């Protein structure tokens, strides 16, 4: 890796294994070590993924961290430099380009707006990255940048549903729910799918189980931990187990009368998981175990970066403990006016934490098995919105950038292209369904095998099928 931060380059990998951590946490070395071995061999799949498919991961990826940048970061101000846009600042889109631009966003093709940022070639690959990402740019050799993502919705909610569920409607299972359903979790004491949010409330369909059994929806947690996870004062584990047995008995009796209820079944399992989490979750959220160097790496010493840095550090701790899918959400990228006044602080909040995450995963030997995804629901137009001294950009789903790292991805390369000013994808267009098929492929899972029978139809994550972007692995 070229030009890594000195803290990442010089620090040796930690000497403790995952099993050592579990043992030191006082959770019963013998039982948990055995459970860990059995789960790795998928022998506890029936418990770790009840009523799921229990597919065996055959690829390099074993977990996902999805860094969702809500609001739509601008591709021409982050990972897709456009020299022609700089030269045509203030002019209209040339006819030679404009006649082929999809009019999805209904934005006028007038008043092109040059990026206020410099693009700097980074790493051995020399991929240009905007200077608002000085730390993230140093890790470009681990990234596969997708410059030709596209779809057809210029509205936030439907576009977000496309990015996370595969359609605009918002009634289908989310990406994380599908992966949890198909592959289960490697830690039965923590949720298999976790969502954490910074700077936005988010839209629940983005982490919903849809028509899948309700137990596969995400657990939304706060950086301080899962609310009410600790045992009340004066209540012993044995007393809580007795309470749980009584509640489960009553619920099971009720469930027998209902014949089948996904919601009630999920409620029963949530009680069981909550009891197990009262032992495991506090340790997973305990950042006091981390060194000061690690906390600085994630930006916890920086007022702007500390919130998202905490989420990124927790995400590393979760995948380290076998959580299958973590969705981190950083909202606020919706720059209709004053683009520089929006994107600059948004980048400052996320740049150092994300670079720290990649560094920490790499040095712990976790990056190869952890697929990291960065991107939002769409990009932004190369033309100015609200012209004046501080213009912004409108929504544009016709061509935008995302990147992948880890999980068997070949880094240091760019796939696809937008037109010369960055309006629309013109080379190797990638729809969200294609991206989802590619994510499954990183796990070694064929998209057509991950199915769920619903309304007499074998439904799948990619709806009617997506095209795997094979180049990201080549």
Identify whether residues 298 and 160 lie together within a single domain.
yes
First to last CA, the chain: 19
Residue 218 lies in a domain: yes
445 band by pLDDT with thresholds 50, 70 and 90: very high
Identify whether residues 271 and 297 lie together within a single domain.
no
- Cα separation, 163 vs 433, in Å, equals 8
Query: How many Cβ atoms from other residues are within 10 Å of residue 458's Cβ?
Result: 10
- Cα separation, 427 vs 438, in Å, equals 18
Whether residue 63 is predicted with pLDDT greater than 70 in this model: the reply is yes
Query: How many Cβ atoms from other residues are within 10 Å of residue 147's Cβ?
Result: 24
- The token pair that represents 318 in the structure block: 């979760």
The whole-number pLDDT of residue 52 equals 81
Using the 3D structure, point to which of 244, 268, 284 is the last residue of a domain: 284
Close Cβ partners of 60 (under 8 Å, ≥ 6 residues apart):
368, 369, 407, 408, 442, 444
Count H helices and E strands in the chain, helices first. Answer: 14, 16
Residue 247 lies in a domain: yes
* DSSP code at position 99: T
Q: Whose structure tokens read 């209902």?
A: 258
Name the helix (H) or strand (E) containing 370.
strand 370-375
Angle of helix 262-284 relative to helix 237-258, nearest 10 degrees, comes to 160
Task: For residue range 4-34, list pLDDT tens digits in order.
Answer: 544 565 444 444 444 443 334 433 333 333 3
By DSSP bridging, strand 379-380 and strand 143-149 are unpaired
The whole-number pLDDT of residue 25 equals 41
Residue 234 lies in a domain: yes
Residue 201 lies in a domain: yes
Residue 115, judged by CB atoms within 10 A of its CB (0-12, 13-18, 19+), counts as buried
Identify whether residues 314 and 248 lie together within a single domain.
no
Task: For residue range 275-304, list pLDDT tens digits in order.
Answer: 566 666 788 889 999 999 999 999 999 999
Using the 3D structure, point to which of 284, 307, 329 is the last residue of a domain: 284
The whole-number pLDDT of residue 199 equals 76
- Cα separation, 425 vs 428, in Å, equals 7
- The token pair that represents 16 in the structure block: 């403790």
Residue 3 lies in a domain: no
Q: What are the angstrom distances between the C-alpha of 238 and each of 177, 188, 252, 272?
A: 32, 19, 21, 14
Domain containing residue 251: 226-284
Identify whether residues 232 and 217 lie together within a single domain.
no
Rg (alpha carbons) of the chain, rounded to whole number: 23
On whether the CB atoms of residues 451 and 460 are closer than 8 A, the answer is: yes
- The token pair that represents 434 in the structure block: 């294609």
Residue 1 lies in a domain: no
Q: What are the angstrom distances between the C-alpha of 373 and each of 57, 196, 357, 401?
A: 18, 15, 12, 11
Percent of the chain with pLDDT over 70: 78
On whether the CB atoms of residues 316 and 21 are closer than 8 A, the answer is: no
44 band by pLDDT with thresholds 50, 70 and 90: very low
Using the 3D structure, point to which of 241, 259, 284 is the last residue of a domain: 284
Identify whether residues 138 and 249 lie together within a single domain.
no
Torsion of CA 261, 264, 268, 269, to 10 degrees: 60
Residue 470's SS3 state is helix
Alpha helices by DSSP H, 285-375:
292-297, 306-320, 339-363
- Cα separation, 302 vs 300, in Å, equals 5
**Number of structural domains in the chain:** 3
On whether the CB atoms of residues 249 and 200 are closer than 8 A, the answer is: no
Whether residue 461 is predicted with pLDDT greater than 80 in this model: the reply is yes
- The token pair that represents 104 in the structure block: 């999805």
Residue 439: name the closest of 60, 14, 27, 51 by CA. 60
Residue 326's SS3 state is strand
Identify whether residues 108 and 199 lie together within a single domain.
yes
What CATH number does residue 142 fall under? 3.40.720
Beta strands in 214-306 (DSSP E): 219-220
Identify whether residues 408 and 352 lie together within a single domain.
yes
Angle of helix 175-183 relative to helix 156-165, nearest 10 degrees, comes to 20
- The token pair that represents 257 in the structure block: 């009368």
Identify whether residues 214 and 330 lie together within a single domain.
yes
The whole-number pLDDT of residue 267 equals 60
Identify whether residues 40 and 83 lie together within a single domain.
no
Name the helix (H) or strand (E) containing 24.
helix 18-24
- Cα separation, 358 vs 144, in Å, equals 13
Identify whether residues 70 and 118 lie together within a single domain.
yes
Identify whether residues 347 and 201 lie together within a single domain.
yes
Task: For residue range 334-365, list pLDDT tens digits in order.
Answer: 999 999 999 999 999 999 999 999 999 999 99
Range in 226-235, 238-247, 271-280, 373-382 the model is least confident about: 271-280
The predicted model scores a pTM of: 0.84
Residue 410: name the closest of 437, 431, 441 by CA. 441
Task: For residue range 150-188, list pLDDT tens digits in order.
Answer: 999 999 999 999 999 999 999 999 999 999 999 998 888
The whole-number pLDDT of residue 29 equals 33
Residue 350 lies in a domain: yes
Residue 9 lies in a domain: no
Identify whether residues 328 and 461 lie together within a single domain.
yes
- Cα separation, 400 vs 148, in Å, equals 6
Residue 316: name the closest of 301, 346, 294 by CA. 294
The whole-number pLDDT of residue 78 equals 98
Q: Whose structure tokens read 């369904």?
A: 433
């Amino acid at each position: 890796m070229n030009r890594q931060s000195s803290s990442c380059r010089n620090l040796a990998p930690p000497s403790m294994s995952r099993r050592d951590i579990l043992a030191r946490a006082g959770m019963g070395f013998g039982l948990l070590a055995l459970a860990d071995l059995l789960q790795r061999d998928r022998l506890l799949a029936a418990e770790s993924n009840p009523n799921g498919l229990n597919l065996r991961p055959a690829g390099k990826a074993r977990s996902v961290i999805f860094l969702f940048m809500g609001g739509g970061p601008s591709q021409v101000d982050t990972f897709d430099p456009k020299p022609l846009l700089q030269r045509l600042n203030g002019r209209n889109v040339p006819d030679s380009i404009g006649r082929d631009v999809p009019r999805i966003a209904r934005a006028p093709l007038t008043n092109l707006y040059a990026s206020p940022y410099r693009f700097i070639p980074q790493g051995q690959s020399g991929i240009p990255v905007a200077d608002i990402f000085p730390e993230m740019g140093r890790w470009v050799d681990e990234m596969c940048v997708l410059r030709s993502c596209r779809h057809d919705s210029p509205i936030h909610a439907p576009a977000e549903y496309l990015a996370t569920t595969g359609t605009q409607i918002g009634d289908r299972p989310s990406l994380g729910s599908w992966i949890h359903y198909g592959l289960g979790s490697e830690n039965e004491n923590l949720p298999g799918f976790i969502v954490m949010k910074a700077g936005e409330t988010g839209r629940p369909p983005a982490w919903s189980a849809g028509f899948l059994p309700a137990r596969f929806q995400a657990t939304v947690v706060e950086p301080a931990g899962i609310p009410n996870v600790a045992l009340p004062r004066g209540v012993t584990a044995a007393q809580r187990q007795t309470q749980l047995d009584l509640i489960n008995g009553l619920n099971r009796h009720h469930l027998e009368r209902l014949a089948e209820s996904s919601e009630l079944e999920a409620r029963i399992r949530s009680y069981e998981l909550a009891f197990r989490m009262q032992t495991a979750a506090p340790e997973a959220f305990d950042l006091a175990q981390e060194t000061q160097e690690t906390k600085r790496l994630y930006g916890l010493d920086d007022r702007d970066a500390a919130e998202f840095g905490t989420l990124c550090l927790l995400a590393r701790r979760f995948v380290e403990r076998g959580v299958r899918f973590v969705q981190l959400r950083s909202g606020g990228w919706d720059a209709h006016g004053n683009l520089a006044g929006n994107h600059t602080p948004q980048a400052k909040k996320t740049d150092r934490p994300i670079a720290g995450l990649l560094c920490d995963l790499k040095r712990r030997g976790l990056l190869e098995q952890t697929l990291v995804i960065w991107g939002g629901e769409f990009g932004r137009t190369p033309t100015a919105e609200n012209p004046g001294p501080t213009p912004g950009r409108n929504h544009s789903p016709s061509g935008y950038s995302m990147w992948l790292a880890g999980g068997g991805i070949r880094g240091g390369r760019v796939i696809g292209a937008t037109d010369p000013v960055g309006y629309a994808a013109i080379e190797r267009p990638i729809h969200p369904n294609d991206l989802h098929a590619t994510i499954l492929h990183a796990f070694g899972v064929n998209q057509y095998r991950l199915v769920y029978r619903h309304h007499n139809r074998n439904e799948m994550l990619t709806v009617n099928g997506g095209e795997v972007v094979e180049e990201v692995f080549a």
